[in-house]
Amino acid sequence: MKIVLVDDERSVLRGLQHIMAKHCTGHEIVGTAQSAEEALHVLKATEAEIVITDVMMPGMNGIELTRELSKLYPHLYLVILSGHAEFEFVREAMRCGAIDYLLKPCHYQTVIDLLDKIKDKAADKETENVKSSHKQLLEKLIKGSIELPESWAVQPEMQMAVFSCHETLDARLEEQITYRLLHGNIERGALDSVIYEGKCVVLYRGMMDPSHVKELLNECRLAMRKQNRTVVAGYHRFHGASKTVELAYEVCLRYCDFLAFNEYSAVMDNDMYQEQLKQLEPFAISEYFSGYKVGSYYALGDAKKLRYYIESLLQQLQRVHGRLEPLRLKRELLSELIYLEHVLKDHRVDPFFGSQIDYVQEMKGIGNYKELLGWLKTYFMSAIMTMNDENHNPHYIQSAIRYMEMNYMKDLTLKEVADAVYLNAWYFSSQFKKYTHVTFSEYINLIRIRIAKEFLRQKDLKVYQVAEMVGFQDAAYFSTVFKGIEHMSPKEFQQSFLISNNS
């Protein structure tokens, strides 16, 4: 490395020159100066990498020189020379940009050790600079804003992997991935990576058995799973040419989206993707959901048919087995939703979903099949909620009552029933009271006591058994509720029924 020495004592300069000439042959002294002003002049004419300067000099001292050099030449490694009594000045110089210090008189081994340390720092810095420039290059290639550089295009084949997760991936995970790949005998100089759009993109510019690369990628995925991260990865092989990196990223992203949508953690390549698509050929969303039917039922005010149709299609979609292709599914669904809008418009009926929905944006925000079903349930529920039955009760109240009638024996909660009709629990509670004139708890108790009366007519059933059968965990509480509604205890009711039957 190239060094400039600065000290107002000529004997110190000669001593350092002697040490370096004898013990530090890997370094070169490109200039000396006996003042800070002279040092600034020397540095203009040299390409120095290290400056070793005395802290106490007439005129501009070493601290001021260090401060000035840190501004003018931020790449320089600045070292302070000082005596034992000048340590406060050394600390100030370190705050101004110096990286280390040497105590006078300098022992040759101390100088050797310091220069070796600086050389290692410079090597690490150079490596980081190369990494940084490669990351910037890879990011620009992914964006498609630059052409593939000739130094990268010489390789006949490239391999890309994109790791994706529910959460944004960070530099720490990127390091773990590259560490495992490098230890799998992937060539360091041909491996580049970057965190892009919250995903970890890895590009390998070299020839290697794809099965081995996929094996290493899968090891990375499994290692992330041990850290409670469900990671998916898309893998693609391609030949280096203009825009191919950008296209490879899009292909890998499609594989990642497929895996994430189906909640299937794996490393997917083209063969696996094509095999999945082949299995999906018979599936079509139009077999389950017709925008024409939903729009027609709603426009004609046929609440019964609309409710039955929606409940039926949601149940069928819930039972769909196998993995689905999100791009195709969302595209087909989008087509049916737009057709539904046209049907309502043709009938001059206001849409039940209120203002215009940006379906494309809505579809982009749906990450997996469960979320898609949840979105559809909420969407269709807005249609059902705007249509009342012959008793002027909204259908979500009717659906809630049917659900309670079927599940009264369970430890039923308000939230569970609200979820069953796709409503917020607080809103459902207020609406239920509005239309039934009793609270949710009071209504479920009415159902349970009505059913309990049927069971109590069986003389071989005990009161505590009936209590358990209708959903009460505590027989005493069951008796209290029963008496509050029927004005007699369960035992009295059972006995009165038996007496009337025997008379």
**Do 450 and 348 share a structural domain?**
no
Instruction: Establish if 374 belongs to a structural domain.
Output: yes
Asked whether the beta carbons of 456 and 464 are under 8 A apart, the reply is no
pLDDT value, residue 219: 94
**Do 97 and 161 share a structural domain?**
no
Cβ neighbours of residue 255 closer than 8 Å, sequence gap 6 or more: 162, 232, 233, 234, 235, 236, 268, 269, 273
**For the chain, how many residues are written?**
503
**Do 441 and 487 share a structural domain?**
yes
pLDDT value, residue 40: 93
Instruction: Establish if 256 belongs to a structural domain.
Output: yes
Give the residues of the chain that fall short of pLDDT 50.
390
**Do 378 and 411 share a structural domain?**
no
pLDDT value, residue 388: 55
Looking up residue 489, the CATH number of its domain turns out to be: 1.10.10.60
pLDDT value, residue 391: 53
**Do 419 and 317 share a structural domain?**
no
For 143-179, b/e burial (b = at least 16 CB within 10 A) is: eeeeebeeebbeeeebbbbbbbbeeebeeebbeebbe
Query: Angle CA(84)–CA(90)–CA(96) in degrees, nearest 5?
Result: 175
Structure-block tokens of residue 69: 């050099």
Instruction: Establish if 126 belongs to a structural domain.
Output: no
Question: Helix, strand or coil for residue 423?
Answer: coil
**Do 272 and 154 share a structural domain?**
yes
Rounded Cα distance between 27 and 17, Å, is: 11
Instruction: Establish if 133 belongs to a structural domain.
Output: no
Instruction: Establish if 212 belongs to a structural domain.
Output: yes
Looking up residue 153, the CATH number of its domain turns out to be: 3.30.70.270
In whole angstroms, how far apart are CA 43 and each of 20, 69, 81, 158? 19, 9, 18, 45
Rounded Cα distance between 265 and 127, Å, is: 34
Asked whether the whole model's pTM tops 0.85, one would answer no
Rounded Cα distance between 376 and 370, Å, is: 10
Asked whether the beta carbons of 88 and 116 are under 8 A apart, the reply is no
Structurally, the chain folds into a number of domains equal to 4
**Do 102 and 15 share a structural domain?**
yes
Instruction: Establish if 130 belongs to a structural domain.
Output: no
**Do 177 and 52 share a structural domain?**
no
**Do 305 and 266 share a structural domain?**
no
**Do 340 and 300 share a structural domain?**
yes
Neighbouring CB atoms inside 10 A of 404's CB total 21
Instruction: Establish if 220 belongs to a structural domain.
Output: yes
Of 309, 321, 425, 322, nearest in space to 376 by CA = 309
In whole angstroms, how far apart are CA 148 and each of 142, 152, 490? 10, 7, 84
Domain end, chosen from 340, 362, 385, is at: 385
Domain end, chosen from 351, 385, 419, is at: 385
pLDDT value, residue 281: 73
| Residue 401, domain extent | 395-502
Instruction: Establish if 167 belongs to a structural domain.
Output: yes
Cβ neighbours of residue 234 closer than 8 Å, sequence gap 6 or more: 161, 162, 164, 251, 252, 253, 254, 255, 256, 259, 267, 268, 269
Rounded Cα distance between 369 and 363, Å, is: 11
Of 232, 98, 244, nearest in space to 161 by CA = 232
**Do 276 and 152 share a structural domain?**
yes
Give the type of residue at 288: Y
**Do 151 and 103 share a structural domain?**
no
Identify the bridge partners of residue 278 per DSSP, sorted by sequence position: none
Rg (CA), the chain: 38
For 11-44, b/e burial (b = at least 16 CB within 10 A) is: ebbebbeebbeeebeebebbbbbbbbeebbebbe
User: Which strand ranges, in their side-by-side order, compose the sheet holding 267-268?
Assistant: 191-196, 199-204, 158-165, 231-238, 267-268
Query: Angle CA(224)–CA(229)–CA(231) in degrees, nearest 5?
Result: 75
What backbone torsions phi and psi does residue 2 show, to the nearest 5 degrees?
A: -90, 130
Domain end, chosen from 280, 298, 313, is at: 280
Looking up residue 98, the CATH number of its domain turns out to be: 3.40.50.2300
In whole angstroms, how far apart are CA 500 and each of 357, 460, 497? 63, 17, 5
